[in-house]
Amino acid sequence: MVDSTPAPLSDLINAYYVKLGRGGEWESDSVESGKLRLGWRKQSIDDINAGRWDLIDEQLRTKDQGRRVASTTSDLKALQIIAASTGKDIWITFHKAKLWWTRLTSGPVERDDISKFRRTAMPWCDRSLLGRLLVVSTLPGKISQLQGFRATVCRVHEIDLLRRTLSGSRSELANAIAEHRRILELDLTEAIKGLHWQDFETLVDLVFRAAGWIRVSVLGQQVKAYDLELREPIIGDRYVVQVKSRAGLAELRETVKEFSNKDFRRIFFIVHSPESDLEGATEIPKHVEIVGPARLGELAMDAGLVGWLRDKVS
């Protein structure tokens, strides 16, 4: 029976990347069936499980016309690693733009109608121990680059990096960066609270423009309400952004009545100084997003507007 709970990674010593079939032909089946599928069609299971490596080496060299080429040595070593792997080893692969990982049972190499295989001790997992989805684009480059390996098996040398990736933890440097960002976000929040209302409106406009959205028109230009209509350039969805210097739940409800979700995909209700009933509001329509100074500070940072805000509070 396969244990569905990933084991802790404290005992991780060896880790390997495996390519599951030519062109990834066995990726889906391996992930779904809890197997690590392997090729070596002309080598018998008895020879592999008995460790008759000299015989298998001779067979591989015969395939390569008697020459001991690099691929012969690589094929033999890869097969030995798979056959000898224990439950302490971690195996990783890439499938559907995600990293998947598992451990193997202590059983032998087996065969079914598809290929030879070894059973996994846990289902192939595409999340860290903390639940983070292991999307390739978010992985460290030293890990994601393994998907370009052309042979069947290679050792993962960055063990500490892989352990952090699979556990969901961060390095000391990453934690330091996160802490500096948190402090900067707090400073930006205070800076935003101190902006003149015209600068606040300009900041909102700059944030959405930096995100690539197109400003279609200015819907209103009142001192306390500066409304923008935006269009997402790829899909063409329409959005409305209403900016308030100070607002509570009553103002939000008026905005929701004014702009139908049939006409606008989303309403951004951005408030310089939100009142307490707005900060604690729970029954908010799904197409409405309240953006206070803290969230706007995060967006301003991502939009590269730190210098702009610094100048405004100088």
pLDDT of 224 reads 45
Same domain? For 23 and 152 the reply is: yes
Residue 6 covered by a domain: no
Same domain? For 135 and 60 the reply is: yes
- Reduce the secondary structure of 232-249 to three states and give it as a string: CCCCCCEEEEEEEEEECH
Of 314, 253, 261, 308, whose CA–CA distance to 284 is shortest? Answer: 253
d(CA 281, CA 237) in angstroms, rounded, equals 27
SS3 312: helix
Residue 1 covered by a domain: no
pLDDT of 8 reads 64
Q: Determine the structural domain holding residue 67 and report its residue range.
A: 15-167
pLDDT of 257 reads 81
- The residue from 137, 167, 197 where one domain ends is 167
Residue 161 covered by a domain: yes
d(CA 11, CA 25) in angstroms, rounded, equals 31
Backbone angles phi, psi at 215, to 5 degrees: -80, 115
Residue 77 covered by a domain: yes
Same domain? For 107 and 207 the reply is: no
Tell me the whole-structure pTM to 2 decimals: 0.73
Same domain? For 198 and 224 the reply is: yes
Same domain? For 106 and 159 the reply is: yes
Spans of the chain below 50 pLDDT: 222-225
pLDDT of 186 reads 93
The neighbour count for residue 117, using CB atoms within 10 Å, is 21
Same domain? For 180 and 161 the reply is: no
Same domain? For 186 and 239 the reply is: yes
pLDDT of 225 reads 45
Q: What is the pLDDT of residues 103-118, one digit of tens each?
A: 999 999 999 999 999 9
Of 93, 153, 89, 96, whose CA–CA distance to 121 is shortest? Answer: 89
Same domain? For 179 and 162 the reply is: no
Of 280, 313, 273, whose CA–CA distance to 188 is shortest? Answer: 313
DSSP state of 121: S
pLDDT of 7 reads 57
Residue 151 covered by a domain: yes
pLDDT of 30 reads 97
Please give the helix or strand (H or E) that residue 73 lies within, else none. helix 70-84
Residue 3 covered by a domain: no
Work out the end-to-end distance of the chain between its first and last CA atoms, rounded to an integer number of angstroms. Answer: 65
**Both tokens of residue 9?**
């990674």
Same domain? For 139 and 20 the reply is: yes
- The residue from 99, 133, 167 where one domain ends is 167
pLDDT of 221 reads 54
* 266-274/288-291 β-pairing: parallel
d(CA 260, CA 1) in angstroms, rounded, equals 53
The neighbour count for residue 231, using CB atoms within 10 Å, is 16
Same domain? For 141 and 284 the reply is: no
Same domain? For 139 and 264 the reply is: no
pLDDT of 62 reads 84
Q: Are 209 and 235 a contacting pair, CB within 8 Å?
A: no
Q: For the chain, how many structural domains are there in total?
A: 2
Residue 131 covered by a domain: yes
pLDDT of 17 reads 97
pLDDT of 223 reads 38
Looking up residue 241, the CATH number of its domain turns out to be 3.40.1350
- The residue from 125, 152, 167 where one domain ends is 167
Same domain? For 60 and 141 the reply is: yes
